[in-house]
Amino acid sequence: MADSVASARSALDNIRSRMEKARRRFGAPPAAVELVAVSKTFSAGAIAPFLAAGQRVFGENRVQEAREKWPALREAYPDLSLHLIGPLQTNKARDAVALFDVIQSVDRDRLAALLAREMARAEKRLPCFVQVNIGGEAQKAGIAVAETVDFVRRCRQEHGLDIAGLMCIPPEGAPPGPYFALLATLGGEAGVDSLSMGMSGDFETAIAMGATHVRVGSALFGQRPPSG
């Protein structure tokens, strides 16, 4: 365990110093950028060294997987924060509210309404992000760019959700900068404070465009098995 904690610490230090350099170089407004360590596909045993090394904010993309891994880890580290970063089916809304601290993938009214109902039932008010289909890709989750501002308004006023920010995953294989810039513009129009954008390959660019949350998986935990 000592060795794995040391290597988790050095992976975290490396990413954090790259984040800090990007923030200073580009002078992006947010005072601090949150590192969301994306632990999907990695076992609780692989995650534990990162907790021991001080990391407290993690992202998972599947409710079922989170249910198997996180309750025991949370018992050991009650101050951790778990973000849902993957698509959420309405029949998993109750479990999601029970397991997660932040929901980053709100993208339709039916889901927003259900999340609001489940949060009321659980007497919780979780911060949420609206996921934007920033590249207009047919197969991708997220609200359309043109509908984003009105959807954020509905989430707040009609559903009563606490919308902290916007989240996006740019199209693969295209330079991400313009998509990050577009998300930042939408965030300004929608009146949100947080932008969740940037992954292992492009988090420095995202920070330059004003990311407040970056979601970094493989650069911390190593390569995922294919299809993860």
Ligand X SMILES: *Cc1c(COP(=O)(O)O)cnc(C)c1O
Q: Contact residues for ligand X (CB under 6 A)?
A: 38, 40, 61, 85-86, 169, 199-201, 215-219
Q: Which is nearer to ligand X, 43 or 121 (CB)?
A: 43
Task: Identify the H or E element spanning 82.
Answer: strand 81-84
What one-letter code names the amino acid at 98?
A
Q: Which residue is nearest to ligand X (CB)?
A: 217
Hey, which residues does 143 pair with through a beta bridge? 132
CB of 133 to ligand X, least distance (A): 12
CB of 139 to ligand X, least distance (A): 14
Q: Which is nearer to ligand X, 87 or 160 (CB)?
A: 87
Coil/strand/helix, residue 4: helix
Q: Which is nearer to ligand X, 10 or 121 (CB)?
A: 10
Q: Which is nearer to ligand X, 191 or 201 (CB)?
A: 201
Q: What are phi and psi of 216, to 5 degrees?
A: -115, 120
> Can you give 162-225 as a three-state secondary structure string?
EEEEEEECCCCCCCCHHHHHHHHHHHHHHCCCEEECCCCCCHHHHHHCCCCEEEECHHHHCCCC
CB of 214 to ligand X, least distance (A): 9
CB of 217 to ligand X, least distance (A): 3
CB of 58 to ligand X, least distance (A): 11
Q: Which is nearer to ligand X, 38 or 115 (CB)?
A: 38
What one-letter code names the amino acid at 123?
E
Could you tell me which residues come within 8 angstroms of residue 9 by beta carbon, excluding any fewer than 6 positions away?
53, 54
Could you tell me which residues come within 8 angstroms of residue 211 by beta carbon, excluding any fewer than 6 positions away?
28, 30, 33, 180, 195, 196, 197, 198, 203
Q: Which is nearer to ligand X, 81 or 218 (CB)?
A: 218
CB of 120 to ligand X, least distance (A): 27
